[in-house]
């Protein structure tokens, strides 16, 4: 696929806002006398990485992704930037380890970008099995390479107990008919295993009451989301990632995180809150140094995309952006 074709099929969500936030972190690190590095921890097809590289002629971008296909497309898209871009095949909870391994002595992490959830690449490739709208092998692994340790959705559904499946659908998909759907899936697999997306979508559709199908989109939407989150351990990985990213960034550096459903946003919000608020016990007359916040929030709550962006890129509709900056002892920068 040509570089232009990759760019055409991928519109980075809230690109300009992300790059402004990260660029000010880059300026802070440069002002402190270090070479700035931005880690795009969710590389995808490289849209945000490309915008960051274009915005600053000196910055180095490290792109992390567990999907080998994403690396192939991003490398082609970003080849004109030479050694200013480096792709690393890994899960993003290793962001702090990557920083320790890859940065030179005079370099510091100026920013970490997290664009969470499933990527446009994965949704649009029918063969990956992420979408209920295509009939494809029932996979949904973000890393579908031969040596991937992850099991596919088909493998998960072949072994899971009904109670655990109900929990996954209820917690990860916020599916109110989780019990009915789980029971239908387990009952059907006694006849034959699930192998395709169309097969699973059909069983879910039959399990959901007709009256509930009139609104809310396809009845299998929440089930597919829940199973994707489960096989990729997305929430567990995210729980580890945010603290690791906060540790990796240098004073003056910034973390920008975009989430697309309430479970992701809650994890980000809580992790940021722990670092932006004092940990001093209530009633303590003097705040000790170890209780002082180590980050400041750059957003009031979560920022949302505007109507024009949603019109251009409908996948941005559910995005929520939060950002923080690691505190220094001296100056404060503008948002």
Annotated binding site: 46-48, 65, 92, 115, 122
By CB atoms closer than 10 A (0-12, 13-18, 19+), residue 300 is exposed
29: tokens are 């690190």
Q: Which residues are annotated as a binding site for S-adenosyl-L-methionine?
A: 46-48, 65, 92, 115, 122
Question: Is residue 311 a contact partner of residue 300, using CB atoms and an 8 Å limit?
Answer: no
- 6-32 CB burial, b ≥16 within 10 A, e <16: beeebebbbbebbbebbbbbbebbbeb
Residues of the chain by 3-state class (helix, strand, coil), percent to 5:
50, 15, 35
* Cα 282 to Cα 83: distance, rounded to the nearest angstrom: 50
End-to-end CA distance of the chain: 37
Taking CA atoms, 251 is separated from 111, 184, 269, in Å, by 10, 52, 20
Q: CA-based diameter of the chain, in Å? A: 68
Kind plus residue range of the DSSP H or E element containing 324: strand 320-326
Alpha helices in the chain (DSSP H): 3-9, 15-31, 47-55, 68-77, 95-102, 120-124, 153-159, 162-173, 178-189, 197-207, 221-231, 234-248, 262-276, 307-312
């Amino acid at each position: 696929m040509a570089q232009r074709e990759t760019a055409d099929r991928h519109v980075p969500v809230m690109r300009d806002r992300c790059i402004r936030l990260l660029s000010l972190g880059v300026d802070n690190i440069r002002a402190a006398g270090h070479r700035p590095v931005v880690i795009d921890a969710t590389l995808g097809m490289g849209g945000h990485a490309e915008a960051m590289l274009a915005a600053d002629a000196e910055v180095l971008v490290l792109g992390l992704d567990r999907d080998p296909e994403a690396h192939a497309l991003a490398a082609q898209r970003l080849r004109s930037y030479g050694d200013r871009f480096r792709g690393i095949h890994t899960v993003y909870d290793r962001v702090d380890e990557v920083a320790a391994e890859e940065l030179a002595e005079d370099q510091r992490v100026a920013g970490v970008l997290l664009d969470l959830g499933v990527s446009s690449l994965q949704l649009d490739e029918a063969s990956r099995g992420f979408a209920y709208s295509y009939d494809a092998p029932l996979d949904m692994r973000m890393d579908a390479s031969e040596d991937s340790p992850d099991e596919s959705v088909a493998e998960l559904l072949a072994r899971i107990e009904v109670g655990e499946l109900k929990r996954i659908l209820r917690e990860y998909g916020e599916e109110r008919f989780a019990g009915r759907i789980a029971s239908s899936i387990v009952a059907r697999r006694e006849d034959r295993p699930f192998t395709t997306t169309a097969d699973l979508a059909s069983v879910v559709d039959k399990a959901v009451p007709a009256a509930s199908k009139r609104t809310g989109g396809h009845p299998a939407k929440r089930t597919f989301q829940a199973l994707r989150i489960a096989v990729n351990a997305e929430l567990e990985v995210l729980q580890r990632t945010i603290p690791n990213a906060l540790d990796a960034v240098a004073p003056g550096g910034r973390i920008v995180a975009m989430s697309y459903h309430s479970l992701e946003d809650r994890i980000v919000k809580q992790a940021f809150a722990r670092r932006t608020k004092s940990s001093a016990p209530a009633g303590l007359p003097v705040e000790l140094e170890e209780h002082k916040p180590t980050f400041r929030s750059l957003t009031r709550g979560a920022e949302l995309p505007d109507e024009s962006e949603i019109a251009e890129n409908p996948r941005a509709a559910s995005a929520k952006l939060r950002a923080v900056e690691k505190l220094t002892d001296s100056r404060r920068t503008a948002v």
